[in-house]
């Protein structure tokens, strides 16, 4: 712990305990006697109203009239607190909606202007689904910070079905990406980013990113206009891509909406034949056929494929392979 952080923690400890001994302070912060004495002197210089009590039961006491000064938080701590509040809001439902709106307003009123701006940007860069238990991987914080601050990262990514533990990270190529959104779905965290090497939008599973480092590469300013709610329109299909259309039952439309990839769009269908159903459309590349079958299979009979016919057959074959493996 850095000295400034330790002094801040000691100040809170002193106000909470009101009375403590030197030994208690040493045990609490795992420091030597000489370090504890130096820190007490530093706290007094900072204005902590301490006085020493001599004798067998002596120690240090905070003046009864003293009150804890305002607590300061780092920017990362402010962002963490804000995300925690939003998660609780999602878990609380309608009952506390007005209360959380008030908390939200007061929170934004007391943070600095820089922190407020970061919070406003993070609202469009992360999607919180409180019922999801997802594996964040080791670099989720770096990816989120890069998305909020519009920075480019160098990453090493384990693609395919290989496990991250079985691969030597140095053997993987470095890739340049510019993250712009992070979200949780189906037990994993995903990062939507622009791949500067391939010049296309990609979705990366965060737990498969095994190395990140800030890059000096300038960010692409055009990405700043996009957020999580428009991201499904970003990826441009290749000439080899296959376009598909499905109809989705209303009962699973909202669940599906939370899982959309950049190559997909979901819209309410208006024709009488599919009244009340939603239309899922998009594209997939030749190498993504296993992925698209796996994705569609999650929704069973709630999804009806209309085109292409080949996708129907490929999904049917996918189901048969799953049955054969049982």
Whether 17 has a pLDDT exceeding 90, the answer reads no
> Do 143 and 168 have their domain in common?
yes
**CATH number, domain containing residue 251:** 3.30.70
CB neighbour class for 148 (10 Å; exposed up to 12, middle 13-18, buried from 19): buried
Whether 119 has a pLDDT exceeding 50, the answer reads yes
264-285, pLDDT tens digit by residue? 888 876 555 556 788 899 888 8
Whether 55 has a pLDDT exceeding 90, the answer reads no
185-244, pLDDT tens digit by residue? 656 778 888 889 888 778 888 888 999 999 999 988 766 444 444 444 445 677 888 999
Query: Which of 227, 256, 285 is at the close of a domain?
Result: 227
> Do 219 and 241 have their domain in common?
no
Q: Which residues contact 226 (CB under 8 A, 6 or more apart)?
A: 180, 234
- 24 or 262: whose pLDDT is higher? 24
- 51 or 320: whose pLDDT is higher? 320
271 in any annotated domain: yes
Could you give the CA distance from residue 47 to residue 60 in angstroms, rounded to a whole number?
A: 15
Domain extent for 297: 237-324
Whether 122 has a pLDDT exceeding 50, the answer reads yes
- 2 or 293: whose pLDDT is higher? 293
**CATH number, domain containing residue 173:** 2.30.30
Could you give the CA distance from residue 182 to residue 140 in angstroms, rounded to a whole number?
A: 8
Query: Which of 123, 146, 164 is at the close of a domain?
Result: 123
What confidence category does residue 294 fall into, taking pLDDT thresholds of 50, 70 and 90? confident
Could you give the CA distance from residue 30 to residue 40 in angstroms, rounded to a whole number?
A: 15
Q: Return the pLDDT at 272.
A: 52
% of the chain at pLDDT higher than 90: 17
Could you give the CA distance from residue 64 to residue 265 in angstroms, rounded to a whole number?
A: 62
Whether 255 has a pLDDT exceeding 50, the answer reads yes
- Residue 251: which of 294, 293, 300, 292 has the closest Cα? 300
> Do 197 and 166 have their domain in common?
yes
Q: What is the mean pLDDT of the chain?
A: 77
């Amino acid at each position: 712990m850095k000295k400034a952080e330790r002094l801040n923690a000691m100040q809170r400890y002193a106000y909470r305990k009101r009375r403590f001994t030197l030994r208690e302070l040493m045990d609490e912060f795992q420091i030597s006697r000489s370090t504890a004495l130096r820190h007490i002197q530093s706290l007094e210089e900072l204005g902590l109203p301490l006085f020493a009590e001599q004798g067998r039961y002596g120690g240090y006491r905070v003046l009864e009239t003293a009150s804890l000064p305002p607590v300061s938080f780092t920017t990362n701590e402010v962002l963490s607190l804000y995300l925690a509040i939003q998660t609780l809001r999602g878990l609380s439902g309608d009952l506390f909606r007005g209360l959380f709106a008030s908390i939200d307003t007061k929170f934004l009123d007391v943070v600095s202007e820089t922190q407020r701006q970061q919070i406003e940007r993070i609202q469009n860069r992360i999607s919180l689904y409180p019922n999801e238990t997802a594996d964040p991987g080791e670099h989720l914080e770096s990816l989120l910070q890069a998305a909020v601050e519009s920075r480019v990262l160098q990453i090493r990514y384990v693609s395919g079905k290989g496990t991250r533990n079985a691969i030597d990270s140095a053997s993987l190529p470095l890739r340049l990406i510019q993250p712009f959104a992070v979200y949780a779905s189906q037990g994993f965290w995903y990062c939507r980013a622009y791949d500067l090497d391939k010049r296309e939008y990609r979705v990366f599973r965060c737990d498969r990113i095994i190395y990140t480092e800030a890059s000096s590469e300038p960010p692409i300013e055009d990405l700043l206009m996009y957020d999580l709610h428009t991201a499904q329109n970003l990826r441009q299909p290749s000439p080899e891509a296959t376009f598909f259309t499905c109809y989705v039952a209303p009962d699973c439309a909202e669940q599906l909406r939370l899982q959309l990839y950049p190559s997909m769009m979901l819209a309410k269908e208006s024709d009488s034949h599919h009244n009340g159903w939603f239309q899922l459309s998009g594209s997939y590349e030749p190498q993504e056929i296993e992925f698209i079958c796996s994705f569609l299979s999650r929704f069973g009979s709630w999804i009806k494929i209309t085109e292409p016919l080949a996708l129907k057959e490929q999904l049917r074959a996918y189901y048969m392979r799953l049955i054969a493996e049982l």
